[in-house]
Amino acid sequence: MLFVIVPVYNEAKNIGRVVRDLFQLQDGFRQIVKVNSDRLRNDFKVIVVDDGSVDDTAKVAREAGATVLRHAINRGQGAALQTGNEYARRHGAEYVIHFDGDGQFDVADIAPALEKLNKDNLDVVLGSRFLDNRSKLPWTKRYIVLPLARWIQNVLTGVTLTDVHNGFRVLNKRALEKIEITQDGMAHNTEIVSQIKKHELRFAETPVMVRYAEYGQGLSGGVKIMFDVLFSHLVK
């Protein structure tokens, strides 16, 4: 019923805590999606998609209680998310949450996002670091990299968002059935936004906090994403 999909690559250090935190909050999710606790206990799943890690990510995630899907070789975050989505579809998921496995997101942001999805009758809720002041972004990201990337994404997709390349999403069944990620790398973020527009999915943003342990996508990563997005527009 409610699947949290966590794509990971070499995150043995963080994935155990992320999975345990997710399980701790499942009762809160139950109240929001209004199902009895036994049903949710059976149907709440944390799906860790291990994208060909060479460390103990899969083992740690499994020990923490997650269902682990393992790519034999590394295919990228977009590919891992799509694997998770397909698994969720096959197992009758009604809600899917995309959540990063590096411990940068706060699990407390999931419940308000789920609530927004249900209350406002939406198909997708997208996380944004710019709707409150909790995320302490490096200033180059806040003032240069992300605004530039956001402008490019808004132009390419025709969807105006306050954030770009944020891995936090909540999807209902309709969105899960419509969205098909073909971008294996990080360009899947832009692809998802394009598909939201294409399939006329109802969406909104929700504030999320991101703790920065590492810088994340730098300028070269951004250039690669832009190239992937443009190339995919040229070649089908």
Partner 1 sequence: MLLIQILLILFFLFAIAKVVGRWQTKELTLGALVMWLLFWLCAGTVVLMPNLTSYFAKLVGIGRGADLVVYVSLAILFFVVFRLMVAVGRLRSDITRLTRQITLDTSNHGTTAQQHNSTATRQSF
Residue 231 burial by Cβ neighbours in a 10 Å radius (0-12, 13-18, 19+): exposed
Residue 23 burial by Cβ neighbours in a 10 Å radius (0-12, 13-18, 19+): middle
Nearer to partner 1, 73 or 155 (CB): 73
Give the shortest CB-102-to-partner 1 separation in angstroms: 21
Binds partner 1 by CB under 8 A, chosen from 3, 9, 29, 87:
87
Calculate the alpha carbon distances from 7 to 37, 84, 154, 180 in Å.
Answer: 26, 8, 25, 16
Binding segment (CB under 8 A) for partner 1, from list 84-92, 105-113, 118-126, 189-197: 84-92
Give the shortest CB-79-to-partner 1 separation in angstroms: 5
Binds partner 1 by CB under 8 A, chosen from 17, 20, 75, 142:
75
Binds partner 1 by CB under 8 A, chosen from 17, 20, 59, 71:
71
d(C-alpha 149, C-alpha 222), whole Å: 8
Binding segment (CB under 8 A) for partner 1, from list 22-30, 72-80, 101-109, 166-174: 72-80
User: What single letter denotes the amino acid at residue 13?
Assistant: K
User: What single letter denotes the amino acid at residue 19?
Assistant: V
Counting contacts by CB under 8 A, is residue 142 touching partner 1?
A: no
Residue 214 burial by Cβ neighbours in a 10 Å radius (0-12, 13-18, 19+): exposed
Counting contacts by CB under 8 A, is residue 73 touching partner 1?
A: yes
Q: Which residues bind partner 1 (CB under 8 A)?
A: 49, 67, 69-73, 75-76, 79, 82-83, 86-87, 90, 182, 184, 231, 235
